[in-house]
Amino acid sequence: MGEVYVVTSGKGGVGKTTSTANIGTGLAIVGKKVVMVDADIGLRNLDVVMGLENRIVYDIVDVIEGTCRLKQALIRDKRYSNLYLLPAAQTKDKSALSPEQMQKLCKQLREEFEYVIIDCPAGIEQGFKNAIAGADKAIVVTTPEVSAVRDADRVIGLLEANDLRNPLLVLNRIRPEMVKRGDMMTIEDVMEILAIEILGVIPDDESIVISTNRGDPCVADDSSWAGRAYRNITRRLLGEIVPLMKLQQEKGFFGRILKFFRFGS
Amino acid sequence: MHDENSVIFKGTTNGINVWLDEHADLDALKDALRLKTLEAKTFFEDAETAITFSGRPLNKNEEAEMLDIIYKETNLSISVTEPIAAREGYDSLAARLGLAPPSILRSRNEQLTYYYEGALRNGQSIRYNGSVVVLGDANPGSEIVARGNIIVMGALKGLVHAGCTGDAYSYVCALRLTPTQLRICDIITYIPEEKKNRNKNTPSYAYIQEGVIYIAPLNHG
């Protein structure tokens, strides 16, 4: 029996879909059998981020309505054969699903996959209720902005009210330079409000934009800083203890020499 | 076994009177009360009312148990309970002295306290007909409205309203008193950003004096 995670945030544009794609791919890289479910009906994106848009024939609503079998709607990833995507419908809206149908679908998926990762739509209405209905764990994505943290706090309250306790936090788009200058909330500032377990911190990295546009999750890219952060998240999900990444980039050889002498004196 | 008519609800101008059969045994009465309450649940909804008992005399513990049943099955906020005999005695005394009968809707600030454990998060709210104690933080976007006092054993960053029905003696107390907005009785205020830092590490309380809300550190008693 697999585990069902829902990736949610309340606020839009903080990186739910990107996180879903990278966590899903990250788990697939280490050999887990994974399915990613796009629950954002009407505004589907996960297929684009995964570069699988042109392969969609059937979608989640077709499965629910019985137009096709579940197997027919699942799209196998082009890079990893143990990674699948269940795309959202684009021409319907959130009312095409109900929480009960979603629970049934998740039950079916978890029998076949080790990890089911659900990409939740923004907001706290019907789409959110559908997305969380079948999940047994939640990952809350936020950015170090007051508005995003407020929404994350609201969502954590709603998750707890729906018996999804102890959600995990992904703090996305941290800019170490700004934090250092005191212009951005620190990890501690965010944790003080949200007070939940932190799963990972993702630095604000251009490689995310590039890989998202290319439809190729950066978690597989060894040179990407954000990719490394997502690989750490994957390892933590698998139960490994990995310390949070140092957000201060190494200053290079000269900088280290300088630092050494300053400490020496 | 219980008789269907061993418990009767009667609406009075002062609230609800619950008549209990003197001859029935206590457990049967409890069962009957639970059933009657469930039946009347939609009628009660979340009204604010006073409840009195008549018929079978109850001691303090028994009365509390009866009230507990009504509490558990409904969303009623109960403001006062008095044995009807005592009230009638008072009424007749008052009548003899030419006084108006006392209002049964006496506030029970001191008696009733609601305890909330854990963080009160954005969008969550507590409304209570008494005092409220939160054992945790009250985050920005949360709301606590109480008829009595509000105590937050943690950081208070949301909106609070103590003494919401007009009790100017109510206070708000927190380990970190930095609410978004602070209301006591009918006075509304907020703490300026620069002063919030000053309040950060000193447990404080807010109260009304001469129509103004004051904030003082707790250790100044």
Confidence of residue A196 (pLDDT cuts 50, 70, 90): very high
Q: What percent of chain A has pLDDT over 90?
A: 92
The last residue of a domain, from among B97, B125, B145: B97
Give how far Cα A46 sits from Cα of A136, A215, B25, Å: 21, 9, 65
pLDDT at residue A164, rounded to an integer: 96
Pairing outcome for strands B204-209 and B143-146: unpaired
Based on the fold, state whether residues B31 and B127 are members of the same structural domain. no
Q: Is the model more confident about B1 or about A136?
A: A136
Query: What pLDDT score was predicted for residue B55?
Result: 83
Residue showing tokens 């099955």:
B73
Question: Between chains, do A195 and B140 touch, taking CB under 8 Å as contact?
Answer: no
Residue A72 pLDDT greater than 70, yes or no: yes
Alpha-helix runs per DSSP H in A174-251:
176-181, 187-194, 206-214, 225-237
What radius of gyration, in Å, describes the C-alpha atoms of chain A? 19
pLDDT at A6 over 60: yes
Domain carrying residue A173: 3-264
Determine, yes or no, domain membership for B140. Answer: yes
R_g over Cα of chain B: 21
DSSP string for residues in A17-80 = HHHHHHHHHHHHHTT--EEEEE--TTS--HHHHTT-GGG-SS-HHHHHHTSS-HHHHPEEPSS-
Q: Which residue from A154, A160, A195 is facing B122, i.e. has the nearest CB?
A: A154
Domain annotation covers residue B20: yes
Q: A38-52, A125-139, A236-250, B181-195 — which is least confidently predicted? A: A236-250
State whether B156 and B120 are in the same domain. yes
Task: Give me the residue from A157, A160, A195 closest to B122, CB to CB.
Answer: A157
Indicate whether B117 and B205 sit together in one domain: yes
Token digits for B6? 């061993």
- Taking CB atoms and an 8 Å limit, are A150 and B140 in contact across chains? yes
Task: Collect all residues of chain B within an 8 Å Cβ-Cβ radius of residue A138.
Answer: none
Cα–Cα distance, B157 to B120 (Å, whole number)? 10
Lowest mean pLDDT among A176-190, A226-240, B37-51, B82-96: B82-96
Domain identity same for B84 and B138: no
Q: Is B181 left (phi over 0), alpha (psi -120 to 50) or beta?
A: beta
> For residue B52, what pLDDT is reported?
77
Contacts with B155 from chain A: Cβ below 8 Å: 192
Instruction: Indicate the pLDDT class of residue A126, thresholds 50, 70 and 90.
Output: very high
Q: How far is CA A102 from CA A165, B169, B211, in A?
A: 19, 51, 55
Can you give the CATH number for the domain in which B55 is found?
Answer: 3.30.750
- My answer on whether B118 and B187 are in the same domain is yes
Domain of B23, in residue numbers: 7-97
| B18 lies in the same domain as B51 | yes
Q: What is the pLDDT of residue B105?
A: 38
Name the least confident of A95-99, A168-172, B66-70, B124-128. Answer: B66-70
- The dihedral built from the CA positions of residue A52, A53, A58 and A63, taken in this order, carries a sign that is positive
Do B186 and B117 share a structural domain? yes
B74 and B26 in a common domain: yes
Task: Answer whether residue A46 shows pLDDT above 80.
Answer: yes
Interchain CB distance below 8 Å, B121 and A151: no
The two three-digit tokens of residue B11, written as one number: 């609406």
Phi-psi region of B155 (alpha: psi -120 to 50; beta: other; left: phi over 0): beta
B89 plus B129 within the same structural domain: no
B121 and B37 housed in the same domain:
no
| B119 and chain A in contact, CB less than 8 A | yes
Its pTM stands at 0.73
Ramachandran region of residue A42, left (φ > 0), alpha (ψ -120 to 50) or beta? Answer: left
**Residue A152 is inside which H or E element, if any?**
helix A146-161
Q: List B77's β-bridge partners, or say none.
A: B48
In a domain, B2, yes or no: no
Whether B58 maps to a domain, the answer reads yes
Q: Considering the domain boundaries, does residue B213 fall inside one?
A: yes
- The pLDDT value recorded for residue B14 is 61
- Domain at B152, CATH number: 2.160.20.70
CB-CB under 8 Å, B123 with A157: yes
Instruction: Indicate which CATH number applies to the domain containing A215.
Output: 3.40.50.300
* B69 shares its domain with B138: no
The model's pLDDT over B138-188, given as tens digits with 9 standing for 90+, comes to 999 999 999 999 999 999 999 999 999 988 999 999 999 999 999 999 999
Residue A261 pLDDT: 56
Q: Suggest the residue from A150, A164, A190, A191 to mutate for an interface test with chain B (most B CBs closer than 10 A).
A: A150
Task: Check residue A29 and give its pLDDT.
Answer: 97
Q: What is the number of structural domains in chain B?
A: 2
Question: Nearest CA to CA, how far is A7 from chain B (Å)?
Answer: 19
**Higher pLDDT among residues A185 and B85, named by residue:** A185
d(CA A112, CA A70): 11
Q: What is the mean pLDDT of residues A54-82?
A: 96
pLDDT of residue B20: 87
Q: What is the model's pLDDT at position B13?
A: 59
Domain boundary, last residue among B97, B130, B158? B97
Residue A204 has pLDDT above 80, yes or no: yes
- B80 inside domain: yes
Regions of chain B where pLDDT drops below 70: 1-4, 12-15, 42-49, 76-111, 220-221
Domain boundary among B63, B97, B131: B97
Tally the domains of chain A.
Answer: 1
Q: Of B116, B121, B126, B200, which to mutate for an interface test with A (greatest number of A Cβ within 10 Å)?
A: B121
B139 CB neighbours in chain A (<8 A) are 153, 193
What number of other Cβ atoms are within 10 A of residue B196's Cβ?
Answer: 15
Are residues B12 and B40 both part of a single domain? yes
Helix (H, G, I), strand (E, B) or coil at A264: helix
